[in-house]
Structure 1
Amino acid sequence: MLRLKRSVSLLALALVLSACATTQAPPPEERSPADPWEPFNRQVYAVNRTADRAVLKPVARGYKHITPAPVRTGVTNFFDNLRSPVTIVNLLLQGRPGDSLAQFERFFVNSVYGIGGIFDLADRADMPEHQTNLGMTFATWGWEDSRYLMLPFVGPSTLRDGIGFYGDSFVNPVLDGVRKQGSYGVLALDAIQIRADLLPLDERIEEAFDPYLFIRDGYLQRRNFRIQGEEAEMPDYEAFLDEDFD
């Protein structure tokens, strides 16, 4: 079964690639201090939406239609496992050696006994899982506040998290091997699987008056929650959908 926390982690990606949004930004005096680049971000958002509707969403629908659920689960597990080395390193950089060791144990069990991570045996054994990245590491080092930034063909981020995203992409030894071998089809499968996992969210996000604001506020609140832990309030996505923007 797909883990709920992974779906929540990727919620923002699905929202940015699936929604129908206005691209007109408010005047400068009405913009959020966290989003001073809103005009640019809305334009990038529109490009992402167009690309999704033209390519990724139709492909994801076809993939989900022809691929059995157990196979899709195995693909999800496989790519989750591929990301573990980066998580392990970032946990060390954040001064969390115990969590880093626990994540390494998960990676070892799933890689060796779970056939490269296709079967998440560590989850069945109730081994703890930690999710973090370089953006979170930067936040741990003191860069807590950062401007919101919509990344082309990636989705919602911040300047800090965007730098972290590309940093993680290039230091992952497994993904680096994929790139060197020219196996970009593997990376494309990862994107398709993520999009297929989150197809059910499309209709819900379209209910929002301004999906761009929904995505931005949800992303920033969730990142704040992950950085500050229990001191921050976890975003209520249901409340966003019910909010009256008039």
Structure 2
Amino acid sequence: MPFKPWFANIFIILSLVMLSACSTTSEQEDSYSDPRDPLESINRPLWTFNWDYADKYVFKPASTAYVKWVPSPIRSGVHNAALNLNEPFTIINNLLQLKFQRAGKATGRFVLNSTVGLLGWFDIAKHAGLMREEEEFGEVLGTYGVGDGPFLMMPVLGPSSVRDEVGDLVDGYYWPLAVIDFWPNVARKLIIGLETRGQLAEQEALLNDSLDPYEFVKNAYFQNINYRLHDGNPPVVIDQEEEDDLDDMLEEF
């Protein structure tokens, strides 16, 4: 399956959502059981393991050394090549949602980068205006009405949900990921993980400054999923109580 180390999810979340700590703590202070997180008593210790131990003593030092000692052109090349292998499942998942234009863009990216780009070493497609827009099978399920299911904090893999885990499993059966041998696949996952953790370094303050990093990450995770599900244009949801108050104000006016 397409390996996504926990900090890969965190980086995507922080880059797209950028929630404030205030919104996180206000929900915590409401002191109610989050229906999205029935496994919180298990998830919180796993978050502590991921952030305070696995990251502090393994992932962060490794990524820091990788960024410091590996020349940027080599890092960029191997990272592009590793991500290029995700384009085929993006093509299929777009077709399953009848997103033919996006499927065409992903096909163009894969063909250009796999040929002119030397097996993906160079992201030629980006310079041709074809930007990477990864589409996972979990998003396909969401499009057809499958709910997220319980929030999961996976050891090493990080924030997820039942739907996302099923989606990642299916994505791993698409060509060429399904035919890559064990050790080359480990190397691919390691490259993506180290590069992603290196990019996360600039975002760490958002987590460190939040009063409850676990709640911060959980809320941001679900916002990110909603963002991706609607291709960057999530619907605006108005709280019913707020809407009623607004109607009353308009009537008084």
Report what 1:240 is aligned to: none
Distance 2:160 2:204 in 1: 20
Check the 8 A contact 1:83/1:172 in 2, yes or no. no
Check the 8 A contact 2:13/2:224 in 1, yes or no. no
Deviation at 1:157, TM superposition (A): 1.1
Q: Structure 2 length normalisation: TM-score? A: 0.76
Deviation at 1:122, TM superposition (A): 0.7
Report what 2:181 is aligned to: 179
Pick the structure with greater CA Rg: 2
2:77 partner letter:
G
For residues 156 and 207 of structure 1, do their structure 2 counterparts lie closer, same or farther at Cα, with a shift above 3 Å needed? same
Q: Which has the bigger relative contact order, CA under 8 A and spacing at least 6?
A: 2
2:37 partner letter:
D
- 101-110 or 224-233: which moved more? 224-233
For residues 77 and 192 of structure 1, do their structure 2 counterparts lie closer, same or farther at Cα, with a shift above 3 Å needed? same
Q: Structure 1 length normalisation: TM-score? A: 0.78
Matching of residues 1-246 of structure 1 within 5 Å: 10-12=11-13, 30-49=32-51, 50-168=53-171, 170-180=172-182, 184-229=186-231, 230-232=233-235
- Unaligned regions of 5+ residues in structure 1, if any? 1-6, 15-25, 235-246
Distance 1:209 1:40 in 2: 20
1:58 partner letter:
P
- 134-143 or 144-153: which moved more? 144-153
Check the 8 A contact 2:148/2:164 in 1, yes or no. no
- 29-38 or 110-119: which moved more? 29-38
For residues 58 and 231 of structure 1, do their structure 2 counterparts lie closer, same or farther at Cα, with a shift above 3 Å needed? closer
For residues 231 and 184 of structure 1, do their structure 2 counterparts lie closer, same or farther at Cα, with a shift above 3 Å needed? closer
Report what 2:5 is aligned to: none
Distance 2:79 2:133 in 1: 16
Cα offsets for 1:111-164 (capped at 9, x unmatched) = 101111111111101125432101101001211443211122111111111211
Deviation at 1:110, TM superposition (A): 0.6
Identity of aligned residues (%): 30
Cα offsets for 1:39-96 (capped at 9, x unmatched) = 1111221222211222111110100111222322223322221110111111111122
Question: Between Structure 1 and Structure 2, how many residues are aligned?
Answer: 215
